Amino acid sequence: MSEARISLRIDPELKKDAQDLYSDLGLDLTTAVTMFLKQSVREQALPFKPELEDPESVQARKDAFRKDLKRYKSVDEWWDDLNA
C-alpha cells in the first residue's frame, strides 16, 4: 500500500505531550493519528463527542485546584468543620 504524507502545524508542547502519552501506550504519533483517522472514517464522525462546558463547571474545575482552599482528609472532618 502506498502512503501519503501529511504535514501539520501543531504546538510543540502538545506534540511532545502526545508523543510521550502514545509512547507509554506502545504507539508512535503516526500510528495514533492513523488510528484516529480510521476510527473517524469507520464511524463517519469524530470518535468522541465534542461538547462545550457550561461556565460554572469550568470555574468549579479551576477552583478545585486552587492552593488557598482548605483541604480535608475525610468527609467527616469536612462535616465537623461545616457544622462548627
User: Model confidence over 2-53: pLDDT tens digits?
Assistant: 899 999 999 999 999 999 999 999 999 999 999 999 999 999 999 988 888 8
Segments forming the whole domain that contains residue 27: 12-83
Say what the pTM is. 0.57
For the chain, list the strands marked E by DSSP.
Answer: none
Tell me whether residue 58 is in a domain: yes
State the pLDDT confidence band at 61, using cuts at 50, 70 and 90. Answer: confident
Tell me whether residue 1 is in a domain: no
User: At which residue does the C-alpha cell 482548605 appear?
Assistant: 70
**Burial degree of 18 (CB within 10 A; 0-12, 13-18, 19+):** middle
Tell me whether residue 36 is in a domain: yes
Question: What's residue 1's pLDDT?
Answer: 73
State the pLDDT confidence band at 77, using cuts at 50, 70 and 90. Answer: very high
Task: Choose among 6, 31, 37: nearest CA to 18.
Answer: 31
